[in-house]
Amino acid sequence: MWSKKLTSKKLILSCCLFIQNIHCEDESSSLYGTWSSKSNQVFTGPGFYDPVDELLIEPSLPGLSYSFTEDGWFEEATYQVTGNPRDPACPKASLIFQHGTYNISENGTLVLNPVEVDGRQLFSDPCSDDGVSTYTRYNQTETFKEYAVGIDPYHGIYKLQLYQFDGTPMQPLYLAYRPPMMLPTETLNPTASASSTDEASSNEKRSLRALVRRSLENRHKTNAVRRQNTSFLASNAIWYISAGMLGVGSLLFLAF
């Protein structure tokens, strides 16, 4: 029992197609929810990406997850591991987070339009990067030629089959949550559009207790380390040197 986004399925298109927003009454053909690959370890939401500390949290197994809202928002969580035929001990791995809006064209093509400033990628190539992963912004519009939603005959749950832009089927995704498990559907880390006032008010809302709690929660969730400014003038070295010299001077004064 499958419902496929093809041109011939005019009934489904009339239900699901709007200019920017999507809303399907029929659950058997709806994208609404969180979908995850067979490993069942990768899910969108706060367990994969922490937008406050900008941390990508590595799942226990590779996989793929997409979430869709009824009002046209999506979220993506990807954990991919690529083997190295020349050296099996040197696999490459990447974690990718994106979210933004989606729309469906008249021919059934599904297009994901990410929020440019929010996408993140953590890439690891242990035999070439000296054990230091690369953490960068990521922005990639994704186009799926079509998709199909139906009941999987083996698992007895809803399955989402996405087809790449050239029609190649991707690995199937299975419905994990409905309503979807997602981060807020808004720009999470604004850059040029954020004023200094907005940043200051945001920092004021984060109490010391909240910062400590978040740090403890994330302690064992990722091996990514946020790099700090290590320049001499920007560090606390001057303060420690001054305190040390003052202490030495005090001891010399008392001794003589």
User: What integer is the mean pLDDT of 52-59?
Assistant: 92
Q: Compute CA 87 distance to the chain's CA centroid, rounded to the nearest angstrom.
A: 29
Phi-psi region of 249 (alpha: psi -120 to 50; beta: other; left: phi over 0): alpha
What CA–CA distance (Å, rounded) separates 53 from 63?
23
Q: Which two tokens stand for residue 56?
A: 């990508």
Of 110, 92, 91, 113, give the one whose Cα is nearest residue 101: 113
Of 154 and 220, the structure prediction assigns the larger pLDDT to 154
The pairs formed by 14-17 with CB atoms below 8 angstroms and a separation of 24 or more are: 16/104, 17/104, 17/106
Residue type present at position 220:
H
* Average per-residue pLDDT for the chain: 77
Write down the pLDDT at residue 94. Answer: 94
CA angle 64, 144, 111 (to 5 degrees): 100
Of 93, 159, 100, 167, give the one whose Cα is nearest residue 126: 93
| Gyration radius of the chain over CA positions | 24
HEC sequence for 53-74? CCEECCCCCCEEEEEECCCCEE
Write down the pLDDT at residue 196. Answer: 40
What CA–CA distance (Å, rounded) separates 4 from 159?
12
Count how many Cα atoms sit within 13 Å of the Cα of residue 63 in the half-sphere of its side chain: 20
Burial class, 20, CB count within 10 angstroms (exposed 0-12 / middle 13-18 / buried 19+): exposed
User: What integer is the mean pLDDT of 68-82?
Assistant: 95
Say which range, 5-19, 104-118, 159-173, 191-205, has the weakest mean pLDDT. Answer: 5-19
Say which range, 80-94, 176-190, 209-223, has the weakest mean pLDDT. Answer: 209-223
Residue 20, pLDDT > 50, answer no
Of 69, 5, 2, 73, give the one whose Cα is nearest residue 32: 69
What are the start-end ranges of the H helices in 116-236? 196-205, 208-218
Write down the pLDDT at residue 236. Answer: 56
User: What integer is the mean pLDDT of 10-25?
Assistant: 37
Of 160, 162, 126, 122, give the one whose Cα is nearest residue 145: 162
Q: Which two tokens stand for residue 125?
A: 């190539």
User: What integer is the mean pLDDT of 87-98?
Assistant: 88
